């Protein structure tokens, strides 16, 4: 065998993740079933029943929803009001409007410790403070940071999947949205019971199976939210969620 072929095979062995990520076709193993929810996010009326926690605001231009915190005051979380099942395919598009700093997270499978709605009036009021969502004794969720360029950790870019409560880091392998990108990106989030997969465009960034043991039972059902750190200014559109077709 020629030396350069040996070298190539050696590198492929060392860096299998490179081959695994590139050229992924979205949803190769998951199929969309019935449409559960769709929202163009094009106008104020479209999100009249959504709930903002923290000093975030939304503005609507050119059929997009912009979200940011005036004067970069504080972090904020914007909740879709609908509860989704344990298996779903969610999609949305977004674009970075300020690339100097920011961080985008999606919370999902958010539900009370005993199955309550996360807006249960007996729960303490939330204001965007991170540990209210990641270390709360009242409710659980998963979250993925798919754009990571915070002023507290600039240029991180690697996506993190965490299981809460507990802020348990369960996967960090691949970069999410490039920190300086101003392109429109399509996010696809799949939850098939314990199996969680996320794509940025056609590139897989998360692929993890919850064993239901190490960090407690698999989380099924619950709400989805978009979270931004205070420096973030993104715009969003075309949020859709389907049943997962077995």
Per-residue pLDDT tens, the chain, 246 aa: give them.
444 333 333 333 333 333 334 434 455 568 899 999 999 999 999 999 999 999 999 999 999 999 999 999 999 999 999 999 999 999 999 999 999 999 999 999 999 999 999 999 999 999 999 999 999 999 999 999 999 999 989 999 999 999 999 999 999 999 999 999 999 999 999 999 999 999 999 899 999 999 999 999 999 999 999 999 999 999 999 999 999 987
Residue 246's pLDDT is 73
* Cα–Cα distance, 45 to 21 (Å, whole number): 38
Residue 13's pLDDT is 34
Structural domain tally of the chain?
A: 1
Burial 113-139 (b: 16+ CB within 10 A, else e): eeeeebeeeebeebebeeebbbebebb
Closest by alpha carbon to 97, among 185, 13, 171, 37?
185
Q: Which two tokens stand for residue 98?
A: 């300020």
* Cα–Cα distance, 147 to 10 (Å, whole number): 32
Q: Where are the alpha helices (DSSP H) in the chain?
A: 3-14, 16-21, 131-134
Q: Where are the alpha helices (DSSP H) in 159-207?
A: none
pTM over 0.75: yes
CATH assignment at residue 155: 2.60.120.200
Q: If DSSP codes are grouped into helix, strand and coil, which group holds residue 8? A: helix
Range of the domain at 26: 3-245
* Cα–Cα distance, 2 to 6 (Å, whole number): 7
Q: How far is CA 188 from the centre of its chain?
A: 9
Residue 131 near residue 102 (C-beta atoms within 8 A): no
Closest by alpha carbon to 111, among 99, 101, 123, 100?
123
* Cα–Cα distance, 165 to 216 (Å, whole number): 10
DSSP annotation string for 194-208 = TEEEEEETTEEEEEE
Q: Which two tokens stand for residue 234?
A: 């993104």
Residue 14's pLDDT is 35
* Cα–Cα distance, 128 to 149 (Å, whole number): 18
End-to-end CA distance of the chain: 45
Neighbour-count burial of 180, counting CB atoms closer than 10 A to its CB (0-12 exposed, 13-18 middle, 19+ buried): exposed
Residue 29's pLDDT is 67
């Amino acid at each position: 065998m020629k030396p350069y072929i040996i070298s190539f095979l050696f590198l492929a062995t060392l860096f299998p993740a490179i081959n695994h990520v590139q050229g992924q076709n979205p949803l190769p193993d998951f199929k969309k079933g019935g449409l559960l929810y769709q929202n163009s996010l094009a106008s104020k009326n479209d999100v009249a029943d959504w709930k903002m926690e923290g000093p975030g605001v939304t503005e609507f231009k050119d059929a997009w929803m912009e979200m940011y915190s005036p004067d970069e005051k504080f972090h904020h979380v914007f909740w879709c009001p609908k509860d989704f099942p344990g298996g779903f395919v969610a999609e949305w598009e977004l674009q970075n409007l300020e690339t100097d700093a920011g961080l985008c997270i999606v919370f999902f499978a958010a539900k009370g410790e005993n199955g309550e709605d996360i807006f249960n009036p007996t729960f303490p009021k939330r204001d965007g403070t991170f540990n209210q969502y990641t270390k709360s004794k009242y409710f659980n969720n998963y979250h993925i940071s798919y754009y990571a360029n915070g002023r507290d950790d600039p240029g991180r870019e690697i996506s993190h999947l965490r299981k809460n409560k507990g802020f348990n880091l369960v996967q960090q392998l691949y970069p999410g949205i490039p920190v300086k990108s101003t392109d429109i990106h399509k996010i696809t989030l799949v939850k098939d019971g314990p199996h969680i997969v996320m794509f940025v465009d056609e590139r897989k960034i998360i692929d993890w199976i919850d064993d239901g043991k190490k960090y407690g039972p698999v989380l099924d059902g619950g709400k989805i939210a978009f979270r931004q750190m205070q420096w973030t200014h993104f715009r969003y559109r075309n949020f859709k969620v389907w049943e997962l077709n077995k």
